[in-house]
Amino acid sequence: MKTQQFFIYIFLLLFVGNTFAQKNEGIKFTVNATGSFDVIADIINISMNIGVENTDPQKAFDEHKAREQKIIKLIKKYGILDEDISYSLFKISKYQDYRDKSVSFKTNQTIQFVLKDFDKYVPLQIDLLKNGFYEFSSSFSTSKNKEGHEKSVKNALRNAREEAELYANNLNLKIGKIVSVSSNNPVIYPRNDLMLKASMDPEASLINISQHITITTNVNVVYSFIEQ
């Protein structure tokens, strides 16, 4: 009998404790919010491909190395530091043309570097073309990714809080504690600002018009809603 009473007591204790906990934890409500922040585009990323083709693999390699040395010399001419240069490993592959059964060897290598002086952008492109480098692309970027990410997270959390308050107020509840927070990696979008300012020199180049990068972060915040 005493054993039965003991188990009943434990059951009631757990039931009351669980009910009390649920009341204090409240209703879980998930908010998905996005925050963005614009930073100035202060660098240009340039990517280019080096590749040659020859029926002899050694000659293909030698020609590739000659072009590699030429591009390195050209990059150094514009004052680009080693720390701003990255590249893929050299690759050479055998190709066969099944139409005439001919065999050739093609090399491939990608070089990427950062240009910080926008005034050198056009002369650099012209030099690349003059030296036989036709496969390259460029895009605006920023050195302030960390700052932009921190600000976008702050804005995302603020937006999540505002949305949670909107729902809580309309349900006659109040926001309790935050149960959990998760987020994704920041997404970076180049944003064009092509509206000329009245004070700008009418003969100015487009490259001198300020560009911005939008850094966006998405967060999922789980709140608890409790009675007022």
| DSSP letter for each residue of 136-178 | EEEEEE-S-HHHHHHHHHHHHHHHHHHHHHHHHHHTTEEEEEE
Q: Which residue has the tokens 């080693």?
A: 82
Question: Residue 187 has what pLDDT?
Answer: 76
Question: Residue 183 has what pLDDT?
Answer: 87
CATH number of the domain at 57, please.
3.30.70.2970
Report the SS3 class of residue 135.
coil
Are 151 and 110 members of one domain? no
Are 47 and 133 members of one domain? yes
Low-confidence residues in the chain, pLDDT < 50 = 2, 5-22, 192-202
Q: What is the pLDDT of residues 62-79, one digit of tens each?
A: 999 999 999 999 999 999
Q: Of 218, 50, 214, which is closest to residue 132 (Cα–Cα)?
A: 50
Question: Residue 135 has what pLDDT?
Answer: 86
What is the pTM for the complete model shown? 0.68
Domain presence at residue 1: no
Q: Please report how many Cα atoms fall inside a 13 Å half-sphere around the Cα of residue 227, on the Cβ side.
A: 3
Q: What is the pLDDT of residues 172-210, one digit of tens each?
A: 999 999 899 998 877 776 654 433 333 344 455 666 677
Are 35 and 50 members of one domain? no
Domain presence at residue 5: no
Domain presence at residue 12: no
Contact 140, 190 (CB under 8 A): yes
Question: Residue 48 has what pLDDT?
Answer: 93
- For 163, the domain range is 26-40+145-227
CATH number of the domain at 162, please.
3.30.110.170
Share in percent of the chain as helix, strand, coil (round to 5): 40, 40, 25
Are 33 and 55 members of one domain? no
Cα distance between residue 39 and residue 136, in whole Å: 25
